[in-house]
């Protein structure tokens, strides 16, 4: 082959290799284009998601800021309420056994006046329960009992007890239990009692006269139920003077008030707050002396006054705690059966 033929063959081979290289480069570029297009789509989706996340974060920050502001507002008003309650409490001193309190009111024998007396006395306890309930700012379980001595009468001793706990049952079931078990509670207190009970006006107000012969305890009790939105308040008045049931002989009559606030927290969660205010029991001769009060708690008459008060307080707390524990245990057993 001459030199001209060799050059043509060389050029042909070179151009063939060149075209093959270009085809290879074109194929590589097409793959790179596909890769870059896919990467671009991923970046675009990521940008949209980032924008959405940014908007979500902005609204989340706004809601958190508003939440903090509202909580601060609530704390501010709670502080104001506590200050006002403290001011009211300091202005109105609690009297456990004073002679001018409404607790010394007499239930009259006149039927019309008696009906008004039922409502008026129970309404007083309802308002007391409302005031005491608003003073509590916690839902923690708690129990307290204090012995109160009237400064004007060294023989006048009263007991003020409070109790709070959370019950894991619906409000309506708990309220029904406590309301329907009023008479059974009297049975546990006085095993040998004779009771005359009659409903007053409707099924939400009951008067009961209870006499326990073994202890000569002559008790007149009013019970009333208040149904409120999300709450039920049960009140008791242990009446001191009743014209229909006068004291006689060796009779002794406890008197005071009690209430039970049942507040719905959730469908199966109920907060219960209780309060009991027991004044010095009375006989036909007036209030019983301090030594007799101490004896009712098993305190020897020779015990020094301050020691006796401490023992009364300790035994009263033990009794109150045991009573509430027994009632709650009975309630839970009854609810579990239904």
CA 206 to chain centroid, in Å, comes to: 25
pLDDT of residue 99: 40
Residues 75 and 142 in one domain: no
Residues 14 and 154 in one domain: no
Specify the residue for token string 């006006």. Answer: 201
- Inside any domain, residue 289: yes
Q: Final residue of a domain: which of 41, 63, 90?
A: 90
Q: Final residue of a domain: which of 59, 90, 121?
A: 90
- Inside any domain, residue 2: no
Residue 53 has which token pair?
């996340």
Residues 45 and 122 in one domain: no
pLDDT of residue 100: 40
Domain interval for residue 48: 8-90
Per residue in 207-258, pLDDT tens? 888 888 777 888 899 999 999 999 999 999 999 999 998 998 889 999 999 9
Residues 253 and 327 in one domain: yes
Residues 195 and 62 in one domain: no
pLDDT of residue 137: 66
Residues 57 and 103 in one domain: no
pLDDT of residue 8: 78
Distance CA 148, CA 162 (A): 14
Domain of 312, CATH number, reads 3.30.530
| Burial class of residue 12, CB neighbours in 10 A (0-12, 13-18, 19+) | exposed
Measured in residues, the chain has a length of: 338
- Inside any domain, residue 203: yes
Which parts of the chain register pLDDT below 50? Answer: 92-100, 187
pLDDT of residue 336: 82
- Inside any domain, residue 23: yes
Residues 80 and 103 in one domain: no
- Inside any domain, residue 3: no
- Inside any domain, residue 80: yes
Residues 156 and 191 in one domain: yes
- Inside any domain, residue 230: yes
Q: Return phi, psi of residue 137, to 5°.
A: -115, 15
Under 8 Å between Cβ of 107 and 239: yes
Residues 51 and 166 in one domain: no
Residues 232 and 202 in one domain: yes
pLDDT of residue 97: 43
Specify the residue for token string 């007799």. Answer: 292
Per residue in 257-268, pLDDT tens? 999 999 999 999
Residues 167 and 203 in one domain: yes
Distance CA 324, CA 194 (A): 24
Q: Final residue of a domain: which of 45, 70, 90?
A: 90
Task: Tell me which residue of 252, 244, 280 sits closest to 106, measured CA to CA.
Answer: 244
- How many CA atoms lie within 13 Å of 275's alpha carbon, on the beta-carbon side? 21
pLDDT of residue 123: 93
- Inside any domain, residue 35: yes
Residues 233 and 84 in one domain: no
pLDDT of residue 93: 45
pLDDT of residue 225: 94
Q: Residues near 83 by Cβ (< 8 Å), separated by ≥ 6?
A: none
Domain tally for the chain?
A: 2
pLDDT of residue 96: 45
Q: What's the whole-model pTM score?
A: 0.67
DSSP code for 250:
T
The dihedral over CA atoms of 310, 315, 316, 317, expressed in degrees to the nearest 10, equals 90
- The SS3 assignment for 16 reads helix
């Amino acid at each position: 082959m001459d030199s001209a033929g060799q050059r043509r063959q060389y050029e042909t081979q070179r151009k063939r290799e060149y075209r093959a290289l270009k085809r290879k480069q074109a194929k590589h570029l097409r793959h790179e284009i596909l890769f870059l297009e896919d990467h671009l789509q991923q970046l675009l989706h990521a940008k949209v998601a980032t924008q959405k996340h940014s908007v979500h974060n902005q609204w989340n920050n706004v809601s958190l800021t508003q939440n903090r502001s509202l909580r601060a507002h609530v704390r501010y008003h709670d502080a104001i309420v506590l200050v006002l309650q403290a001011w009211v409490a300091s202005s109105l001193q609690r009297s456990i056994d004073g002679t001018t309190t409404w607790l010394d009111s007499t239930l009259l024998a006149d039927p019309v006046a008696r009906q008004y007396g039922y409502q008026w006395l129970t309404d007083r306890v309802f308002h007391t329960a409302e005031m005491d309930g608003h003073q509590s700012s916690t839902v923690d379980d708690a129990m307290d009992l204090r012995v109160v001595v009237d400064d004007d009468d060294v023989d006048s001793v009263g007991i003020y007890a409070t109790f709070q706990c959370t019950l894991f049952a619906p409000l309506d079931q708990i309220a029904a239990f406590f309301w329907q078990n009023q008479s059974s509670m009297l049975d546990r207190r006085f095993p040998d009692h004779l009771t005359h009970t009659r409903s007053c006006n409707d099924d939400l107000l009951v008067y009961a006269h209870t006499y326990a012969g073994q202890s000569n305890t002559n008790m007149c009790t009013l019970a009333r139920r208040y149904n409120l939105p999300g709450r039920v308040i049960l009140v008791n008045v242990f009446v001191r003077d009743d014209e229909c049931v006068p004291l006689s002989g060796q009779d002794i009559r406890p008197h005071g008030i009690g209430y039970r606030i049942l507040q719905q927290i959730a469908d199966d969660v109920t907060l219960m707050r209780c309060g009991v205010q027991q004044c010095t029991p009375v006989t036909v001769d007036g209030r019983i002396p301090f030594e007799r009060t101490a004896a009712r708690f098993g305190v020897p008459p020779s015990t020094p006054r301050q020691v006796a008060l401490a023992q009364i307080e300790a035994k009263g707390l033990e009794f109150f705690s045991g009573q509430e524990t027994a009632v709650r245990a009975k309630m839970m057993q009854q609810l579990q059966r239904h």
